Chain A
Amino acid sequence: MALTEEQVARFSRQLLVPGFGEAAQERLLAARVRVVGADGPATPALVALVQAGVGRIWVDDEGYVAPADRQGWLYPPGAVGSSRAARASEALSDFSRHSVVEAYPAGGVPDAALIFAGSAAQGIAMGEVARKGGIPHVVVEPDAEGGAIVSIPVGAPCFSCARSVSGVGRPPVPGIAGLSALAAAELLHILVQPAGMAGRRIDVVRGVPTTHPTVRLPGCACGQPVVPPSRDEGA
Chain B
Amino acid sequence: MTGSSAVARLDVRADACPMTWVKTRVALGRLAAGDRLEVLLSPGEAAESVPRSAAEDGHRVVALDDLGPREGVRLVLEKRDGGGAAWP
Contacts and interface: CB of A to CB of B under 8 A. Distances in A.
CB–CB under 8 A between A and B in the complex?
Answer: yes
A18 B86 contact: yes
A16 B25 contact: yes
B85 interface: yes
Contacts of B23: 8
Interface of A: 2-3, 8-9, 12-13, 15-16, 18-19, 21-23
Interface residues of B, number: 14
B87 A15 contact: no
Contacts, number: 35
B26 interface: yes
Contacts of B19: 9, 12
A13 B21 CA distance: 10
A81 B9 CA distance: 56
Interface string B53-74: 0000000000000000000000
B85 A23 contact: yes
A16 B85 contact: no
B30 A22 contact: yes
B87 A19 contact: yes
Interface string B1-45: 000000000000000001101110110011000000000000000
A9 to B, nearest CB: 7
A81 to B, nearest CB: 44
Given A2-B30, A21-B26, A23-B29, A16 B88 contact: no
A16 to B, nearest CB: 6
Contact of B88 (A8, A13, A18, A21): A18
B33 to A, nearest CB: 15
B84 interface: yes
Contacts of B21: 16
Given A21-B29, A22-B29, A22-B30, A8 B22 contact: yes
Contacts of A13: 18, 22
A3 B84 CA distance: 17
A21 B85 CA distance: 6
Given A8-B22, A12-B18, 16 more contacts: A3-B26, A8-B26, A13-B18, A13-B22, A15-B25, A15-B26, A16-B21, A18-B84, A18-B87, A18-B88, A19-B87, A21-B25, A21-B29, A22-B29, A22-B30, A23-B85
7 contacts: A15-B26, A18-B84, A19-B87, A21-B26, A21-B84, A22-B26, A23-B29
Nearest to B84: A21
Contacts of A8: 22-23, 26
Contacts of B22: 8, 12-13, 15-16
Nearest to A24: B85
**For A2, A9, A15, A23, which residue has the most chain B Cβ atoms within 10 angstroms?**
A15
Nearest to B85: A21
A22 B86 CA distance: 12
Contacts of A2: 30
Contacts of A3: 26
